[in-house]
Structure 1
Amino acid sequence: MPRRFLQRYMPRPDTLKRQRSLRLVAPLIADARLWLLTRRSVANAFSVGLFCAMLPIPFQMLIAALGAKVTRCNLALSIGLVWITNPLTMPLIFFGNYRIGSFFLDMPVREAPDRISTRWVAEQMHDIMPALVLGSLITAVCLALLANVCIRLIWRWHVSRNWRQRRKKRQRRRAQIESEFDD
């Protein structure tokens, strides 16, 4: 992952500290270790953020922030990745998690009525919840592990590619200087 690319889109800690609405989490924001962009901190931030995003619980961002503090990974990335499950994507993702949980629990999948209402969901919650929780945990763990491995591999590939390009550039420069001396 290119560090400069990530830094371009990340918020600055000093601007976040000045916002009055974030006064309660100011000590967390002030920790400079939570803003580093290293291969380890970015990969772990993806793991924490995606894990928390797949959980069907409230306060996912707070849990991601605490997870970033515990694992000492990038705070902004871990909180930002939680928004994969936003109000538009949440029904589809959690329905997929429910189907995965139903498969592992060997339960029949409940068919939704033509019109889903909060009343219907509340009535079905007792039956749906075990499959949803299990499916969400399975998805969260798998996504967290997969993201961590992929980010580390992509980062390593990017660094080695940059090294090769720099080596080729040095070799061209050296060949150009040698050809000038030969003339």
Structure 2
Amino acid sequence: MNKTKKKILEAALQLFNTYGLPNVSQRKISDHLGISPGNLTYHFKKKENIEEALYFDLVNWISEEFRQMGEKEVSLQNLITFVDSFFVTIYTYRFVYLDIVHLMRNNDVISAHYKQLIISRKLQFLRMIEQFIDSGLFREAELPDEYEMLYKRIQIILDFYLSAEEITENTIGYRPMGNHTLLFMHSIYPYLTLKGKKQFQEILPLYE
């Protein structure tokens, strides 16, 4: 990627995060960078192309985090560290989550990809749960599709946590996001075995 294109994406990410996706035009991005609108459209013909480039950067970052998690020992500490890192990435690309409904309604490329993505992410999540069941940290499912329902709840937390924080706290900073990891920990606690709960109790004080 050439330097100008990289600078455009960096500036757009900053502006989208600060002002919200619907409030940032290509003109605002070019003015921020001090370049002509023509120079910007040479690299990104439409604003949607910038949105897509940043969205796929986010997807690639998260895919790499999943890959790294798959190479680590199965433990609650590694799972929680993974989730904490996940939220850092979400915060970095927070406009995607704060404006997710706008994106789904107005960007067909992102909307189509996201609908397929959540299916593949669910499969990754369920494979991870199987590993934790095999390790004796998670219990076997007691209800039909119980872990599919857990995935759905966690997906909602990941997609809309920042929106909830902005509504209730009126501002978002990484630490004021605050209890994101603790919220995840409480979500998985009912699924832990005695062995898992023991590990959980050892880790909990670090996040309270």
Higher Rg: 1
> What TM-score do you get using the length of structure 2 for normalisation?
0.26
Q: With CA pairs under 8 Å and 6+ residues apart, which has the higher RCO, 1 or 2?
A: 1
> What TM-score do you get using the length of structure 1 for normalisation?
0.28
